Chain A
Amino acid sequence: MSVLIGKATRVLVQGITGRDGSFHTQGMIDYGTRVVSGVTPGKGGTKVHSVPVFDTVEEAVRVTGANCSVIYVPAALAQDAIYEAVDAGIPLVVCISEGIPVRDMLEVSAYLDGKPTRLVGPNCPGLISPGSCKVGIMPGFIHKPGKVGVVSRSGTLTYEVVWQLTGAGLGQSTCIGIGGDPIVGTRFADMLALYESDPGTQAIVLIGEIGGSDEEDAAVLIRKSISKPVVAFIAGQTAPPGKRMGHAGAIVSGGSGTAQEKMARLRDAGIPVAKTPSEIPGLVSEALRPKVRTKLKLVRPKRAAKKSAPRKRARRR
């Protein structure tokens, strides 16, 4: 099982005739993804890797039944590409493009409000449900089908973590890079809710980084409504304040958005936070291990009740 994409996903590539679009279309086809059509205005009627190209998204959807779009167009054209996909009624739009101005994304975010389309990205590697479908640019071979959901703001750091999980025999249900920009379509909280309701996902790895407050919001949500175990890692503990660390969204500004703060909030919510990427597989295995001691714990409450009762009273006084 997986979330957002799987065997039924029919992918349309916006910007399919471009260098990146064409290259990654081949990569997706090689992985077994059903790439049904591509769109480049003015190139309708041609083919890229045997995939038919259309002039408009609307036509591509009508003719080929695409239900997911992946966008590889240059940043300056990305807002328009997202609008076109949303207006064509595509339920899942994945925007890989990097370098989109924040204002463009604020406008997109306002437009998406109340619409059925889910946007993933921009400035992201996309998502993959190992063994069934890949929509994006990640190397497929590092993944392995399994039960761990991985959600991250990064690209290569995600690959690193996935590679270590796979090496430890821990396969993945769906891995998603939500993007490194300040404004993205899908956030940690959205993905946590999806993993929670996916029977194929048994544990979640959350890879955050400095900037913004998404990790803090995720900590609140996990404490409140996520029953599956979550393991977290936060990058950027050594990042100096006020400096953008590569990703447009990775910046500590006005003392907020630090790695230390995010780690503290996640730990407060009872979530194990790995100190290094290589600690992650061990923490995940631990979280997935059947709780042998559960029986002992069940006996305990009687004894504990006595102890805790006077404490409660003391507090009331």
Chain B
Amino acid sequence: MNLHEYQSKELFRSHGIPVPPGETAETAEQAVSLGDRFGYPVVVKAQVLIGGRGKAGGVKVVRDRESLEREASRILGMDIRGLAVRRVLVTPAAEIAREYYVGIVLDRRNECPLLMASPAGGIDIEEVARTTPEKILKIPLDLRGLPAYRARIAARFLDPDPAIQKQIVPILQKLVRVYRDRDASLAEINPLVVTSKGEVQALDAKVTIDDNALDRHPDLAKLRDLSAEDSGETQARESGLSYVKLDGSIGCVVNGAGLAMATMDLIQFHGGKPANFLDIGGSSNPDKVTAAMNILTADDRVRAVLFNIFGGITRCDDVARGLLTALDRLHTRIPIVIRLTGTNEREARDLLSGRGLTALSDMDEAVRAVIARAAEAA
């Protein structure tokens, strides 16, 4: 789960990492009253859970009340890569002397968190890694966290001034603690700035929490911003489904994540475009099948739906029953192609054919069939 910038900063603040003052506004009016309180100039920043908001014009420095009102209402009406901006962060503009990058990610190959520090701050760290990898210092973290001596090495790598290094050391150590204690999978400060007054601050913040660990962080779990995600994805999560919306016309319902990905790929391979990733898991519960169909049929780009079920522990006849119940509830007219193989395949076929539905057993054949049905329906 990704946290917004203002939520990440709040989390940092509660762990003692210095962040500039700032508050959020949902209207231009609220933004102006914040600007009046902080004093100008201020920065208005769109709060969206997607990168590239600066380039999209979602971050602006304003020098007076009029321009704040204008910019805040403009940004609050924006749509950044498909996500509506519903909230802005208003924060006093600081004079920046230098800016750095610090972040912690999971190093899957070495099975440890990895602290990365770079004097090339404020820009895309992946770009730095590609073009000037020598500008990134990587410190693998172990059970000790970040010993002070290692934090000092990183601080020296970032800034030549001992007074500044002294401020950076505890920031790095606290960042490591946020990462570990709050089950983050990403904790990033980009940029970490030195102001003209010589203060080190986290000017921007990005934190991702491990979804599997949200149960032990109820305070973080309730920060989820439902308005910031696709409504289908919200509905899927609440129904215990795993769903990702894509932009094609062929909906798919599959049991198992790997098979679901392979199904999407196969749709593209045969010349179609998948509308989604959807894993119904091992369940054949009619409620889940209904929820899946509800989500897919709500997407008006979907022209046909493919069910691809490999019956193992999941029994094909159970899924068929779930599907028939779901169809009774939904009255959808979207063409459906069903592919069932494995446990109780024959029983499933009998159930479906009794209702005028045919199930195929070959995956390629089913994919070609659903593409043809989608083309007819278009």
Evaluate contact between B106 and A102: CB separation under 8 angstroms: yes
Instruction: Return the CB mask of B196-216 against A: 1 if under 8 Å, else 0.
Output: 000000000000001111011
Q: Which chain A residues border B362 with CB–CB below 8 Å?
A: 278
Whether B183 contacts A101 by the Cβ 8 Å rule is yes
B172 sits at the interface (CB 8 A) = no
- A210 cross-chain contacts in B, Cβ below 8 A: 261
Q: Is the CB of B261 within 8 A of A209?
A: yes
Q: Verify B277–A160 contact, CB threshold 8 A.
A: no
Complex Cα gap A207–B310 (Å) = 17
Establish whether residues B265 and A99, one from each chain, have CB atoms under 8 Å apart when the complex forms: no
B219 at the interface (CB under 8 A from A): no
In the complex, A138 Cα to B258 Cα: how many Å?
14
Whose C-beta in chain A lies nearest to the C-beta of B279?
Answer: A246
Whole-angstrom distance between the alpha carbons of A76 and B216 in the complex? Answer: 9
Instruction: Report the Cα distance A233→B244, complex, angstroms.
Output: 22
B313 and A237 form a contact (CB under 8 A): no
Contact among B213, B215, B341 for A103, CB-based, below 8 A = B213
B268 contacts which of A137, A182, A238 (Cβ < 8 Å)? A238
Which of A36-44, A247-255, A288-296 is near enough to bind chain B? A247-255
Shortest CB distance B103–A (Å): 11
**Is A272 an interface position by the 8 A CB rule?**
no
The answer to whether A157 and B126 have CB atoms under 8 Å apart is no
* Residue pair B312, A152 in contact (C-beta under 8 Å): no
Instruction: Say which residue of B143, B257, B258, B277 sits within 8 Å of A207 (CB atoms).
Output: B258
The answer to the question of A153 belonging to the interface, with a C-beta cut-off of 8 Å to chain B, is: yes
How many chain A residues touch the partner (CB < 8 A)? Answer: 61
A101 touches which one: B213, B261, B364 (CB < 8 A)? B213
With beta carbons under 8 angstroms apart, the residue of A110, A142, A239 that contacts B261 is A239
Q: Which of B31-39, B92-100, B109-117 contacts A (4 or more CB under 8 A)?
A: B109-117
> Does A51 sit within 8 A of B, measured CB to CB?
no
Q: Enumerate chain A residues within 8 angstroms of B261, measured Cβ to Cβ.
A: 157, 209-210, 235-236, 238-239, 245-246, 250
Residues 269-316 of B contacting A (Cβ, < 8 Å): 269, 274, 277, 279, 310-313
- A276 on the interface (CB 8 Å rule)? yes
- What's the Cα separation between A97 and B363 when bound, in Å? 29
Complex contact A255–B126 (CB within 8 A)? yes
Q: A101-B212, A102-B185, A139-B312 are in contact. Are A245 and B260 (CB under 8 A)?
A: yes
Residue of B whose beta carbon sits closest to that of A207: B258
In the assembled complex, the CB of B218 is this many whole angstroms from the nearest CB of chain A, namely: 14
Most chain B CB neighbours (cut-off 10 Å) among A157, A217, A240, A278: A157
B258–A155 CB distance below 8 A:
yes
Most chain-B CB neighbours within 10 Å: which of A76, A106, A158, A278? A106
Query: Are B210 and A238 in contact (CB-based, < 8 A)?
Result: no
Bound: A239/B274 CA distance, A: 10
> Which residue in A27, A101, A110 is a CB contact (below 8 Å) of B210?
A101
B108 interface residue per 8 A CB criterion: yes
Whether a CB of chain A sits under 8 angstroms from the CB of B342 is: yes
CB <8 Å contact, A239 and B264:
yes
CA–CA, A210 to B311, complex, Å?
Answer: 24
**B142 at interface, CB cutoff 8 A:** yes
Q: How far is the CA of A59 from the CA of B193 in the complex (A)?
A: 58
Tell whether, in the assembled complex, residue B260 and residue A110 are in contact, meaning their CB atoms are under 8 Å apart.
Answer: no
Instruction: Give the nearest-CB partner of A153 in chain B.
Output: B258
Q: Per-residue CB proximity of A149-175 to B under 8 Å, as 1/0?
A: 000111111111001000000000000
- A139 x B342 contact (CB < 8 A): yes
**Contact bitstring A222-251, B, C-beta under 8 A = 1, else 0:** 000000000001011111100111111110
Q: Is the CB of B257 within 8 A of A75?
A: no
Chain B residues lying within 8 Å of A254, measured Cβ to Cβ, are: 125-126
Complex-state Cα separation, A76 to B212, whole angstroms? 9
B212 touches which of A75, A107, A157 (Cβ 8 Å): A75
- A180 to chain B: closest residue by CB: B257
Q: Quick one: which of B143, B258, B310, B342 contacts A235, CB cutoff 8 A?
A: B258
Known: A101-B212, A247-B258. Is A156-B111 also a contact (CB below 8 A)? Answer: no
* Bound Cα distance from A196 to B45, whole angstroms: 56
Using an 8 Å CB-CB cutoff, how does the interface string of A97-140 with B read, 1 for contact, 0 for none? 00111110011011000000000000000000000000001110
Contact A277 B363, CB 8 Å, known A152-B258, A238-B264 = yes
Residues of B within 8 A of A240 (CB): 244, 246
Contact A139–B343 (Cβ < 8 Å): yes
Q: How far is the CB of B260 from chain A (nearest CB, A)?
A: 6
Contact of A182 among B106, B183, B257, B264 (CB under 8 A): B106
Closest to A257 in B: B108
A182 and B113 CA atoms in complex are apart in Å by: 12
Is B310 touching A156 in the complex (CB atoms < 8 A)?
A: yes
Residue of B nearest to A256 (CB): B126
Separation of A141 and B312 alpha carbons in the complex (Å)? 9
Q: Is B65 an interface residue (CB 8 A)?
A: no
Asked if A213 and B126 sit within 8 Å, CB to CB, the answer is no
Q: How far is the CA of A312 from the CA of B374 in the complex (A)?
A: 56
Most B C-beta atoms less than 10 A away, residue of A24, A154, A163, A238: A238
Looking at the assembled complex, report how far the CB atom of A190 sits from the nearest CB atom of chain B, in whole angstroms. Answer: 13
Expressed in whole angstroms, the minimum distance between the Cβ of B2 and any Cβ of chain A is 9
Once the chains are docked, how many angstroms separate the CA of A248 from the CA of B268? 24
Min CB distance A281 to B, Å, is 13
Q: Is B59 an interface residue (CB 8 A)?
A: no
Most chain B CB within a 10 A radius of its CB, from A155, A180, A213, A214: A155
Q: Is A7 an interface residue when CB atoms closer than 8 A count as contact? A: no
Collect the chain A residues with CB atoms within 8 Å of residue B143's CB: 107, 110
Can you sample 6 A-B contacts with CB below 8 Å? A102-B183, A155-B257, A158-B258, A180-B257, A214-B109, A237-B265
Residues of chain A touching chain B, judged by Cβ–Cβ distance below 8 Å, are: 24, 27, 75-76, 99-103, 106-107, 109-110, 137-139, 141-142, 152-160, 163, 180, 182-183, 207, 209-214, 217, 233, 235-240, 243-250, 254-255, 259, 275-278
Lowest 5 A-B CB distances belong to which pairs? A154-B258, A246-B257, A156-B256, A157-B258, A101-B213
Give the interface of B toward A (CB within 8 A).
Answer: 106, 108-109, 111-113, 125-126, 142-143, 180, 183, 185, 210-213, 215-216, 242, 244, 246, 254-262, 264-269, 274, 277, 279, 310-313, 341-343, 362-364
